[in-house]
Structure 1
Amino acid sequence: MLSCGVVIAVLGVGLSTPILVYIGVAMVCAVAVAYVWVLLAVDSFLRVFPRARRDVTPHPLTAGRPGTVTVAIEAGRSSRPGRGRVGRALADHLDIREQAAAELTGGMGTKATVTREPGRLELTYSLHPSRRGRWPLGPSLIHSSDPFAMFLADTPVGEAQHVPVWPAVVDLSATAGALMGHADRIVLGARTPSPDDSSLRDYREGDDLRRVHWPSSARRGTMLVRSDERAGRRPASVILDAPREPVALEWAISAAASIAVSVLESGHPVRLIGGGIDPGSVRHLGDRGSAAARIELLDQTVDLASPVSRAAATADVVRSASLAATDAIHGEVTVAVVNPLEKAAIDALVPIGDSGRAWAIVRADAPLEQDARDTVRALRRAGWRAATATSGDDLEALWSRMLTAGEME
């Protein structure tokens, strides 16, 4: 329209036709007025509503479970009264949209309910997270235009934030107690318990100082604590071998997290090892299934990613096995969710199987079925209770069969 107005005005001057000049000038002025209108509308709105506060419930989200977002766009305290009235009047005619990653909306658009109050705009909409991870949400976009709809503007309000999404967790708490009880029966069935049925291990952050064995600590020069094998809070380690395929990765992380959370909620300390988790940050979590420990455990899974190569995955399993082997000797239960393993990884897991308190789920997606069966046989020879599973298997049914049957193909 601007170009046409200029051309018509020039033609009018050239042809000495005032009516064309008037039309051309009117068209140019209309565009200029529309442009200034949009600039003033956006500027006035941002001065009155300079910030947006976003609340996500629950936080963090869980894959497969819906959540709710409330975005409050509020007037600034320093807004002048006159400008505030103008801004609020403009706000009544502005469209507001929210931006969200497809992983948070399940691939669908967001449809928000907008509530307008004096000095405040509020958007409420639902999220349907489909994948574990950390995904962007926001900023809100203010869609404005002039009365002639010649200029359109999408202006961001507030800042974007990254929302963490936990993996889907299957409730295995009913069988987690059976797992820990079965481990106790293995130990107590092997020998007659004595009055002092305990061993010593290195002190970990969070251990009760009353369990420190001071004479041995003085001799060794490092703090040692008593680890009672018959105590009701036998610890457990869950080893994760992260697959390289995206679908298999999510299934493996979900399986490992489900087992770890269920053990935690049954009243036993647990730690998650491998999968890219920093070995230096690994520690046992849990105090009678505390909510804080559950949050910390699931937070560890949010940023996990596939290994860069099979060699890197094998090295990660070897490190994890070395970390778990020492505590397995002193009565710790070990559960591994792994892919078909190289010989180096199997050799590293062998010492853990000697304790008689080791379970493994080996992924057997096509075309890995034969390699998975070979891994299961090797682990069973080493004393593990192992089973194959695919990414489409029901984890709860698989886990129940493992604990009731002991071994399965």
Structure 2
Amino acid sequence: MEASGGATARMSLTARGVGVLACGIVIGALGVGLSAPVMVYVGVAMTCAVVLAWVWMTLALGNFLRRFPYAERTIQPRPLTVGAPGTVRVSIRARHSRHGHARGLLARLQVREQAANELTGGATTRAAVTRTADELSLEYALTPVQRGRWDVGPALLHTSDPFGMLLSDTSFGSAEKVSVWPRVHDLTGTAGAMMGQADRVVLGARTPSADDAALREYREGDDLRRVHWASSARRGTMLVRSDEHAGRRPATVILDLPLGRQALEWSISAAASIAVSVLDTGHPVRLLDGADPAVASHLGQRGGDIARAELLDLTVDLASPVTRAAGDAHLRRSAAAAAEGALEGEVTVAIIDPATDDVLEALAPIGATGRAWAIVRADDRTADEAAATAARLSRAGWRATVVRAGDDIPAVWDTLLAMQDVA
């Protein structure tokens, strides 16, 4: 929410105002040259009309801003999410409602608001305007198309003098930054299966896991995050963990940030979808994106909604590394941190570019645990390198698949997890 009384007015002549002023100057000059007093009077009168319009506009705007000093903006939901609609409401309220001509001022006023193209997709916003005696409000929709932090506002008050010779756009209030989370796909069902089957994948067996002993049939009202998807699929009925502490194996998502814009946004969306879906199954998760791994804590101990918001907040400001070499250095650091967690039982999912030998050596210990999945990005130039990277990761124990940035994320995820049945 934003409230402000600050305003900046910018006035300009309309075509009519330019014409009247130019004619006044020309006629007045001709009157002086021709010694024709009437022409001088007409010229002076036309010029004075423009000046009077300016004085009227200045007084009218000052009067309005004294009586309607408050602009308040509310954005719902906040933060916004790519592809999900949001709503902005701007209210301009009077200081006192007893002024008899307040309604008239509001009736003549046109209001619009500025919003970054990333919040509207470049489309013109259409606002619904509501007027009362002491308040003017407008409400319009946003459809974010780009992750990041983008400007909304300020509101613009558009008005003119009674003769239409001057226009004024008065910025009212101030701009504010709005955070936009990446698009998140629901992968909860298959993410739960991956976490529930992690121990069985390591053993290479189809025998019941240790969690099976603590399962019971689903009852109405049970938390869906406690559903054991693997056993439910095997038995053909929905089963939940009767021990609330069962199935709390943590997970780490390694995000190797690419250089290209399309690949970057796709990768961040994929990583966020995987991490959020793991959280929704009740498991702690951390995101390693090249920042200091020491400060990348596992989220999920303080409630699902809080952890979800904290995780998505981490993705808002992510940007490509300066060079590919810098990205490889970040990836090696993330791999070292993930390797320590993998030895303690964590599940690891990595989204990476074709990797160099030293990066693959850093990732190899994680694959040896049998709880590691990798998505290797490729394009037309790097298809062979991506295939070679996936092959080396597979030999190290990873389950790896090669994708193109822009591929359907749920389909990629299903393909990757299907590999656990044939590994």
TM surpasses 0.5: yes
- Residue 178 of structure 2 is aligned to residue 163 of structure 1: yes
TM-score (norm 2): 0.82
1:93/1:408 Cα in 2 relative to 1: closer, same or farther (>3 Å)?
farther
SS in 2 for 1:92: helix
1:166/1:192 Cα in 2 relative to 1: closer, same or farther (>3 Å)?
closer
Deviation at 1:316, TM superposition (A): 0.7
- Residue 35 of structure 2 is aligned to residue 16 of structure 1: yes
Tell me, yes or no, if the aligned pair for 1:5 and 1:26 is still in contact at 8 Å. yes
- For 1:245, the equivalent position in structure 2 comes to 260
- For 1:352, the equivalent position in structure 2 comes to 366
Specify the code of the residue in structure 2 equivalent to 1:49.
Answer: F
Q: Paired residue for 1:6, among 20, 25, 29?
A: 25
- For 1:26, the equivalent position in structure 2 comes to 45
Within-5 A mapping of 1:31-42:
31-42=50-61
- For 1:150, the equivalent position in structure 2 comes to 165
Within-5 A mapping of 1:258-407:
258-274=273-289, 276-287=290-301, 290-406=304-420
Tell me, yes or no, if the aligned pair for 2:102 and 2:134 is still in contact at 8 Å. no
C-alpha distance in 2, partners of 1:365/1:171?
26
- Residue 113 of structure 2 is aligned to residue 98 of structure 1: yes
C-alpha distance in 1, partners of 2:204/2:406?
36
SS in 1 for 2:320: coil
5+ unaligned residues in a row in structure 1: which ranges? 195-229
Tell me, yes or no, if the aligned pair for 1:362 and 1:389 is still in contact at 8 Å. yes
Deviation at 1:365, TM superposition (A): 2.0
SS in 1 for 2:126: coil
- Residue 67 of structure 2 is aligned to residue 52 of structure 1: no
SS in 2 for 1:406: helix
1:193/1:92 Cα in 2 relative to 1: closer, same or farther (>3 Å)?
closer
- For 1:112, the equivalent position in structure 2 comes to 127
C-alpha distance in 1, partners of 2:368/2:103?
72
C-alpha distance in 1, partners of 2:251/2:52?
71
Report the aligned-residue RMSD.
Answer: 2.3
Report the more deviating stretch, 230-239 or 120-129: 230-239
Report the more deviating stretch, 388-397 or 124-133: 388-397
Aligned length: 369
SS in 1 for 2:417: helix
Q: Give me the identity figure in percent.
A: 57
Specify the code of the residue in structure 1 equivalent to 2:172.
Answer: V
Deviation at 1:347, TM superposition (A): 1.3
CA deviations over 1:10-48 (Å, ceiling 9, x no partner): 322332322212210110111011111221222222222
1:359/1:25 Cα in 2 relative to 1: closer, same or farther (>3 Å)?
same
Tell me, yes or no, if the aligned pair for 2:200 and 2:209 is still in contact at 8 Å. no
C-alpha distance in 2, partners of 1:407/1:370?
26
Deviation at 1:288, TM superposition (A): 8.3
SS in 2 for 1:171: coil
Deviation at 1:2, TM superposition (A): 2.4
Deviation at 1:397, TM superposition (A): 1.6
- For 2:191, the equivalent position in structure 1 comes to 176
CA deviations over 1:161-185 (Å, ceiling 9, x no partner): 1111110011000101111122121
Tell me, yes or no, if the aligned pair for 1:164 and 1:302 is still in contact at 8 Å. yes
5+ unaligned residues in a row in structure 2: which ranges? 1-19, 211-244
C-alpha distance in 1, partners of 2:171/2:261?
33
- For 2:80, the equivalent position in structure 1 comes to 61
C-alpha distance in 1, partners of 2:197/2:303?
19
Specify the code of the residue in structure 1 equivalent to 2:145.
Answer: S
Specify the code of the residue in structure 2 equivalent to 1:109.
Answer: T
